[in-house]
A and B are shown apart, each in its own frame.
Chain A
Amino acid sequence: MAKVLIVAEQRDGKLKKSTFELVGAASAAGNETHVALLGDGVGALAAEIGTYGANKVHVAESASLKLYNGETYANVLTELVKSLSPDVVLASHTPTGRDLMPRIARRLDVGLASDCISLVFEGTNIKVRRPVYSGKATAEVEFLGAGPRLATIRANALGVGKPDASKKAEVAPFAVNAGEPKTKTTDVVQGASARPDVTEAAIVVSGGRALKSAENFKMIEDLADVLGAAVGASRAAVDAGYRPHRDQVGQTGKVVSPALYIACGISGAIQHLAGMRSSKTIVAINMDPEAPIYQIADYGMIGDIFQAVPALTEEFKKVKEH
């Protein structure tokens, strides 16, 4: 059994699903599970964290923590780690986790295993494995030296367990010493899309250059909306101006790991596979039966996407209505 500290992540007072993945995994393995919750007026979220099995939620609340700031968050968390002395510290490999965890690792002078896709607790240690070389291989990470083991875990890699309303975590305030940061987060400009983020969504529907225009992505959006999915795109589609770069899945775009990935009119260049090969179920729809995407697809349908995608949308609607 290990003493585990999980860095909860919330935006606008809503906890990330990936936080529940970490809490559930640590708790299910029988660990003493602590959670750090930072923000302004976020204390009420501790109860929800408790339903996933956390033993104790350390709440650091302050106006200076309202917006994420790498310096203030690292200041508070480093202090918490020093006072709590956990064996393991985990965060999600999100834009926040990626920015925050190296800062803490440097201050504690310990190693950090980034973007892990498997996590096993072994006594007071963890065994983690992560993709390397764009997912062309995976490697186990061995921690050298003493000190807490720090890791960031890819969203959707562990899966979310079921919350149990009868479970409650002890809630303890943690006195904030946020320090005087040199950087200042002045504003957060929200994205226009009401759809889930491509890195967080359980289902991703992606389109490639075969879509032929930005307008034609409407049919990808229609399919995505029936499934509550995020919309992704190949580099070719982004370079052609059909979608913004933030939707790009692949080596120079986002790395996603959803339960279901539907690739429409994407041939499956190595750069694209780098971003989606850890998806649990992969569906490919392509005109060319020899397209490389079929080598990693679990299900394939060969045909014209302009007929296939609307037909799929109709069929999914029927299933969803039942």
Chain B
Amino acid sequence: MNIYVCIKQVPDTETKIKLNADSSGIDTAGIKWILSPFDEFAVEEALRVKEKNAGSTVTVISAGPTRVVDSIRTALAMGCDNGIHVELPESADNAMAAKALAGALKKEAQVDLVFTGKEAIDDGAAQTSALIAEGMGIPCVTVVLGIEYSATAVKCKREVEGGAFEMVEAPLPVLIAAQKGLNEPRYASLPNIMKAKKKEVKSLKAADVAVTDGDQKIRFKNFQLPPPKQSGKKVPGEIPAAAKELVRLLHEEAKVV
């Protein structure tokens, strides 16, 4: 099986976000970058499929500035075999990234399975998975919690609202966007972290995958930090008197109940 995982590098959850001088973006100085958490489920799933199918390879692909190679190495340390980095500017949007990733995948001889996270935690757009699949002309199943594999097809459990699930069947090749709960991602062992440094990461330019400036379809601007919140009202007194007062405030002042 030829298995591919598309990943994104994002600021660590704990990172404090500061805006740049003209509020056209964030100040990237001092940001700690990590592999987007949902992508860990995608990497883990790819590795599990490989382990069950002798002779398989797992290739990890990311599009972005040079820094994203660090996250490709993270995935290689988990056990992926090799990597592809498509160089894109910091400003690339979902559409441009998806076109670059689909372009890199279309250059490969054979693609059986593509895994992604269901969304990245920086923009939370949940667009890129379906955009890649559309760009490649292959089916895609998003928000996947469980997969049954056969030689030529998959049966996916897709999470929808209200705790319901859709059961979706798709033939290979297929793109699957992983939801938390699909598996429990492994930790990279120290020997594997050392080995990952020697694994091949192929580098592609935007032009190699026919991506141009016109492939960017949206731009974020006028960034704002949330207005500082006035400190809330803490209801004084002991329970149950405090509970009574809180309910009165919600009913008469906030008018939400």
In the complex, what residues of A have CB within 8 A of residue B219's CB? 141-142, 144
- Minimum Cβ distance to chain B for residue A116 (Å): 10
Contact with A145, one of B14, B140, B171, B217 (Cβ below 8 angstroms): B217
A260 to B123, CA, bound (A): 25
A103 to B136, CA, bound (A): 12
Beta-carbon nearest neighbor of B99 in chain A: A106
> Contact string, B1-43, partner A, CB cutoff 8 A, digits 1/0?
0000000000101101101000000100000000001100000
In the complex, what residues of B have CB within 8 A of residue A312's CB? 243, 246-247
Q: Is the CB of B254 within 8 A of A299?
A: yes
- Minimum Cβ distance to chain A for residue B77 (Å): 21
Contact with B161, one of A197, A203, A248 (Cβ below 8 angstroms): A197
Q: In the complex, which range does the number of interface residues on chain A fall in?
A: 35 or more
Q: A102-B134, A106-B130, A144-B218 are in contact. Are A186 and B168 (CB under 8 A)?
A: yes
Q: A189-B167, A251-B121, A311-B240 are in contact. Are A106 and B220 (CB under 8 A)?
A: no
Is B210 part of the contact surface with A, judged by Cβ < 8 Å?
Answer: no
Please indicate which of the listed interface residues A71, A106, A188, A304 has the most CB atoms of chain B within 10 Å of its own CB.
Answer: A106
Is A123 part of the contact surface with B, judged by Cβ < 8 Å?
Answer: no
Q: A246-B159, A299-B232 are in contact. Are A259 and B223 (CB under 8 A)?
A: no
Q: Is the CB of B124 within 8 A of A131?
A: yes
Q: Is the CB of B218 within 8 A of A134?
A: no
Q: Is the CB of B141 within 8 A of A183?
A: yes
Q: Is the CB of B165 within 8 A of A188?
A: yes
A217 to B195, CA, bound (A): 46
The number of residue pairs between A and B whose CB atoms lie closer than 8 Å in the complex comes to 270
Q: Is the CB of A191 within 8 A of B225?
A: no
A63 to B180, CA, bound (A): 32
A182 to B170, CA, bound (A): 6
Beta-carbon nearest neighbor of A308 in chain B: B239
Q: A137-B224, A186-B167, A200-B161 are in contact. Are A270 and B95 (CB under 8 A)?
A: no
Q: Is the CB of A182 within 8 A of B131?
A: no
In the complex, what residues of B have CB within 8 A of residue A281's CB? 250, 254, 256
In the complex, what residues of B have CB within 8 A of residue A70's CB? 130, 140, 142
- Minimum Cβ distance to chain B for residue A25 (Å): 20
Is A156 part of the contact surface with B, judged by Cβ < 8 Å?
Answer: no
In the complex, what residues of B have CB within 8 A of residue A99's CB? 130, 142-143
Contact with A311, one of B130, B181, B243 (Cβ below 8 angstroms): B243
Q: Is the CB of B140 within 8 A of A188?
A: no
20 additional A-B pairs beyond A183-B174, A184-B169, A193-B163, beta carbons within 8 Å, are A95-B160, A102-B128, A112-B218, A114-B126, A133-B26, A134-B124, A137-B17, A138-B224, A143-B217, A144-B218, A182-B171, A183-B170, A190-B162, A190-B164, A271-B13, A274-B121, A294-B234, A307-B240, A308-B243, A315-B246
Q: A106-B130, A188-B165, A300-B235 are in contact. Are A137 and B19 (CB under 8 A)?
A: yes
> Contact string, B136-155, partner A, CB cutoff 8 A, digits 1/0?
00111111000000000001
- Minimum Cβ distance to chain A for residue B24 (Å): 9
> Contact string, A248-290, partner B, CB cutoff 8 A, digits 1/0?
1001110100011000000000110010010011111000010
- Minimum Cβ distance to chain A for residue B199 (Å): 28
Is A132 part of the contact surface with B, judged by Cβ < 8 Å?
Answer: yes
Contact with B11, one of A133, A188, A260 (Cβ below 8 angstroms): A133
Q: Is the CB of B168 within 8 A of A183?
A: yes
Is A219 part of the contact surface with B, judged by Cβ < 8 Å?
Answer: no
Q: Is the CB of A142 within 8 A of B218?
A: yes
Q: A99-B130, A186-B168, A312-B247 are in contact. Are A307 and B239 (CB under 8 A)?
A: yes
- Minimum Cβ distance to chain A for residue B223 (Å): 5
Beta-carbon nearest neighbor of B142 in chain A: A99
- Minimum Cβ distance to chain A for residue B132 (Å): 9
Is A166 part of the contact surface with B, judged by Cβ < 8 Å?
Answer: no
In the complex, what residues of B have CB within 8 A of residue A294's CB? 231-232, 234
Q: Is the CB of B124 within 8 A of A197?
A: no
In the complex, what residues of B have CB within 8 A of residue A302's CB? 234
A303 to B142, CA, bound (A): 42
A296 to B227, CA, bound (A): 11
